[in-house]
C-alpha cells in the first residue's frame, strides 16, 4: 500500500545511451529499450492513480548530439504512439506536449498532434512529453509574451505575480510537480522545469532508465510518502515547539 500519491510526477529519463554502451550495443538500442520502460511506467502511474506524468524526452540541448542519434530519438514518439495509442485511449490517458514544437520534424509534430487531438476528451492520466524543451527558453518565451501583453494593455503591471506569470508557461494548465524522479545517477535538473520545480521533492537513482522498473518507481513513491512538504514554513511539531 502506497499512501500520499503525488498528483504530478516529472521524470528525467536518463541513461539510455550508457545502458547500451555497457552492453556493447549501439546507443540507438538504448533509446529503443527506453520506450519499453515508458510503457511500463505509464501503466504503473495509471495503476496508482497519478494524475499527471511529465516525461523529459528531448531537450533543447539534445540537438548537439550526433545527427543520426537525434533523428532516431525524434522518430520514437511516432513509433510509440503508433503502437500504444489505442491502449492509452482505452485507459483514458490524455496526451499533452510541452516545448517548442515548431522546430521538431513534421512527422514528430504530426504524430503528437494527432494523439493530443484524439485524446483531449479523456479524463484519466495526463501524460506530457517534453520535446525540444528547455527551462530557460520557456521562461524567456513567457517573459516576451507577457511583455507584449503589457505593452498592448491586455494586463496591468500591478497584476503581475507568480500566478499571472505561470499562465505564460507551457505548463499553464498543469499543477506544479510534486515529485521529480531522475534516473541514471546524475543529480541535476538539466534545464528541466526550472520555474515549476521550486518546491518539488527530488528523488535520484543510479538505475539507468531502461532498467527502471515498477519496483523502483514504487520505491520513489514510498519515499515521497514519508516526506513532509512545508513550502518554506514549519511542520506542526516544530510550530508547537516554537510557540
Q: How many domains does the chain have?
A: 1
Q: Residue 162 domain-assigned?
A: no
228: left (phi over 0), alpha (psi -120 to 50) or beta: beta
Q: Residue 195 domain-assigned?
A: yes
Q: Residue 3 domain-assigned?
A: no
Length of the chain as a residue count: 243
- Give the pLDDT confidence score for residue 241 in this predicted structure: 52
- Report the C-alpha gap between 217 and 13 in whole angstroms: 12
Q: Residue 149 domain-assigned?
A: no
- Give the pLDDT confidence score for residue 1 in this predicted structure: 67
Domain span at residue 89 reads: 8-134+176-242
- Give the pLDDT confidence score for residue 234 in this predicted structure: 62
Q: Residue 154 domain-assigned?
A: no
Find the catalytic residue in 14, 16, 128, 178. 14
CB 33 within 8 A of CB 25: no
Q: Residue 44 domain-assigned?
A: yes
Report the CATH number that the domain containing residue 234 is assigned in CATH.
3.40.1180.10
Chain centre to alpha carbon of residue 2:
22
Q: Quick check: is 14 catalytic?
A: yes
Find the catalytic residue in 16, 62, 128, 132. 62
Q: Residue 161 domain-assigned?
A: no
- Report the C-alpha gap between 147 and 153 in whole angstroms: 10
Per-residue pLDDT in tens (0 to 9) along the chain, 243 residues? 677 999 999 999 999 999 999 999 999 999 999 999 999 999 999 999 999 999 999 999 999 999 999 999 999 999 999 999 999 999 999 999 999 999 999 999 999 999 999 999 999 999 999 999 999 999 999 999 999 999 999 999 998 999 999 999 999 999 999 999 999 999 999 999 999 999 999 999 999 999 999 999 999 999 999 998 776 766 655 555 544
Q: Residue 140 domain-assigned?
A: no
Q: In what order do the strands lie in the sheet with 94-98?
A: 94-98, 126-133, 52-59, 8-12, 179-182, 201-204
Amino acid at each position: 500500500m502506497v499512501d500520499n500519491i503525488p498528483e504530478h510526477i516529472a521524470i528525467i529519463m536518463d541513461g539510455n545511451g550508457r545502458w547500451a554502451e555497457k552492453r556493447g550495443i549501439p546507443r540507438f538500442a538504448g533509446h529503443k529499450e527506453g520506450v519499453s520502460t515508458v510503457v511500463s511506467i505509464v501503466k504503473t502511474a495509471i495503476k496508482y492513480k497519478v494524475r499527471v506524468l511529465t516525461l523529459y524526452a528531448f531537450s533543447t540541448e539534445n540537438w548537439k548530439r550526433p545527427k543520426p542519434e537525434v533523428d532516431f530519438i525524434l522518430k520514437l514518439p511516432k513509433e510509440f504512439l503508433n503502437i500504444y495509442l489505442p491502449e492509452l485511449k482505452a485507459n483514458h490517458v490524455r496526451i499533452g506536449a510541452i516545448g517548442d514544437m515548431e522546430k521538431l520534424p513534421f512527422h514528430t509534430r504530426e504524430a503528437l498532434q494527432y494523439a493530443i487531438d484524439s485524446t483531449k476528451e479523456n479524463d484519466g492520466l495526463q501524460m506530457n512529453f517534453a520535446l525540444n524543451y528547455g527551462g530557460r527558453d520557456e521562461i524567456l518565451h513567457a517573459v516576451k509574451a507577457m511583455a507584449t501583453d503589457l505593452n498592448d494593455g491586455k494586463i496591468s503591471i500591478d497584476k503581475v505575480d507568480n500566478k499571472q506569470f505561470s499562465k505564460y508557461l507551457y505548463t499553464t494548465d498543469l499543477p506544479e510537480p510534486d515529485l521529480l524522479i531522475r534516473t541514471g545517477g546524475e543529480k541535476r535538473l538539466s534545464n528541466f522545469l526550472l520555474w515549476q520545480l521550486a518546491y518539488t521533492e527530488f528523488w535520484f537513482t543510479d538505475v539507468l532508465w531502461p532498467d527502471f522498473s515498477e519496483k523502483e518507481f514504487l520505491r520513489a513513491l514510498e519515499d515521497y510518502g514519508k516526506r513532509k512538504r512545508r513550502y518554506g514554513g514549519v511542520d506542526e511539531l516544530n510550530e508547537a515547539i516554537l510557540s
